[in-house]
Copies of this chain bind each other. A is one copy, B any other.
Amino acid sequence: MTMAEHDSTSEITRKRDTYTPESLLAVAVEVFIERGYDGTSMEHLSRAAGISKSSIYHHVRGKEELLERAVGRALDGLFGILDEPAASRGRAVERLEHVVHRTTDVLMAELPYVTLLLRVRGNTRTERWAMERRREFDQRVAELLRAAVAEGDLRADVDVRLATRLLFGMINSIVEWYRPPAGSTAATDERVADTVVRMAFEGLRK
């Protein structure tokens, strides 16, 4: 672990001479995922980024601001979906399928940011805020599910809360194994999103 960590750190250091808030964020998210947010110090961030702590403080007030920006990026991606035309017009079931498809896309495109969001536990104000926003998103999806049942398009013999949990369980599990193709840092795999929608809505049976 220390070996690999060291290698990837030096690679990152080699690649960059200057840091932008964006590139610093990308490094911070890697370290947060690796060590956990609680277990990460400014010293760890400084070593991973290959820049001094005072250079980091030039960009951000501290590690909580980095966490806020990182989970904020994931949440912006997710909530952005709900504002898309296909999520706001038409039958609830079509809107729901669109949201499920796009949620899977965003998870893949923003993989480290969504991974971090899913791992956050509520020890600080920012973590509690992130959990609250995540619950809010889940509730918006549960409402769509409820509306689709009311419109007669989804089976009524399934508990909405339970179905929402299983649906997100399936989608969120993708962070455990999905890795973008080499050379790309943010690539979605349409086949994955299509299969999620097909499996959840049509089922595996012919």
| Contacts from A to B (Cβ < 8 Å) | 93, 145, 152-155, 157-159, 162-163, 165-174, 176-177, 191-192, 195-196, 198-206
Contact = CB atoms under 8 A, between A and B. Distances in A.
**A165, A166, A167 interface centre (most CB from chain B within 10 Å):** A166
Contacts of A198: 155, 157-158, 203
Nearest to A121: B1
Majority SS of interface residues in chain A?
A: helix
A176 B169 contact: yes
Given A93-B205, A173-B173, A205-B93, A199 B166 contact: yes
A149 to B, nearest CB: 9
In the complex this chain forms, how many copies of it are found?
Answer: 2
Contact of A205 (B154, B157, B171): B154
A154 B204 contact: yes
Given A170-B170, A173-B170, A203 B199 contact: yes
Contacts of A167: 199
Given A165-B173, A168-B173, A173-B170, A155 B195 contact: no
A204 B173 contact: no
Contacts of A165: 173, 177
Nearest to A198: B158
A117 B152 CA distance: 40
A177 B153 CA distance: 28
A158 B203 contact: no
B169 A199 contact: no
Nearest to A170: B170
A199 B198 CA distance: 11
Contact of A169 (B93, B154, B163, B170): B170
